[in-house]
Structure 1
């Protein structure tokens, strides 16, 4: 089952009299339960692509179909509803509200969607237990480590039962141990929960937890690599680095 499809997507920016093509006719498909990593150097279009896939920005041309909705044909309000109910976001810097507890931060997307948090208390508690924070429900962000805050962000991304989770450098601000724990959690969510994930990363080790890696260069997809172990194995990391060298990324 296809959850996400990009068809000939192009994104252009006007910088004075110069037109910059951030993405050039990018096409790819993500299936349900698939974990896809997107890699490329700075300026390759990784974050631009993620923003377009999540309906945070509009392509200059081409189409994006997300969870059965061709979002390039929807109004701004309709895209907002699809994004709020069908997409979970995980960012490098967590984006937690500092005055809210872990449980309140997880429940925030439900509140924004007009839901009564009380109805979802058990679900919120279970999500925090799933990410190993069952004893941190009432802790605020400044009472938690970076790794714990990112776990809260993951629980928040899952609270609306999204069709897809989009992660932008989710381990980029973490130490190695915390980063590994986050990657293992994302891998487990794909395998055990059937969660669909697209993760932008510059780290070959992070990418080695995905099912496949899509390489971007100068706004184009230049290669795709299937991952064998999907668990940070050294052979997979070496293969990713080999492709990066061959592509001069």
Structure 2
């Protein structure tokens, strides 16, 4: 028996990377999955865009585990589309128990004052406002079930540790921490737990396209002097490592964990 048998988990940004890892891991624990992704590019990011084919591959991996998967192309900035997806999920599965707000983008620029306003707004819209919109669409469905549940935001070590050159990313992830804490208070009476998982560097496509190289070029004193972590091994951990933490957080094993920041960063946050 899996830790999530009979439950339904929603995962944003599920086409690849951490999102896919969460969807597949939660399916392996017994959950049916609602997987969505924008499956398109952004104006101010360097990383390649996720694709519909990648989202379909995530669904196929979930279904290979004998679990159902509702996979749709939805932008986390589009509240009407999210609300429609939540209604479809309820019609398809009859319940929602877990929401993993995982989608994200990462941009690197020389400094904060030369950053284009449009780039700032795109990052804040995707990372912070988009996170708020996902919970707004799906949390009422968990409350409706009356069984409690779990909401996990994928945050970052950069919610706590500043990254020069990535002001919008850091500000959004820091804002996400307070969003989590407020929701933990508000949802506690409904037995819905709210936490963040805070990865360090993870080996996903968000690292591609030049952000790593620009980070080293702009701020070598931060990015050019080793891994800055307390544990050994690669600096870029596989997404499955983060999925392990999320699977625990949404399970009954963590039933008294709420309002918590869970770093999975090999000690980077306390370096």
What range is the shorter-chain TM-score in?
0.3 to 0.5
Q: Which is bigger in relative contact order (C-alpha 8 A, separation at least 6)?
A: 1
More helix by share: 2
Q: Higher strand share goes to which structure?
A: 1
TM-score (norm 1): 0.34
- When normalised by structure 2's length, the TM-score is 0.32
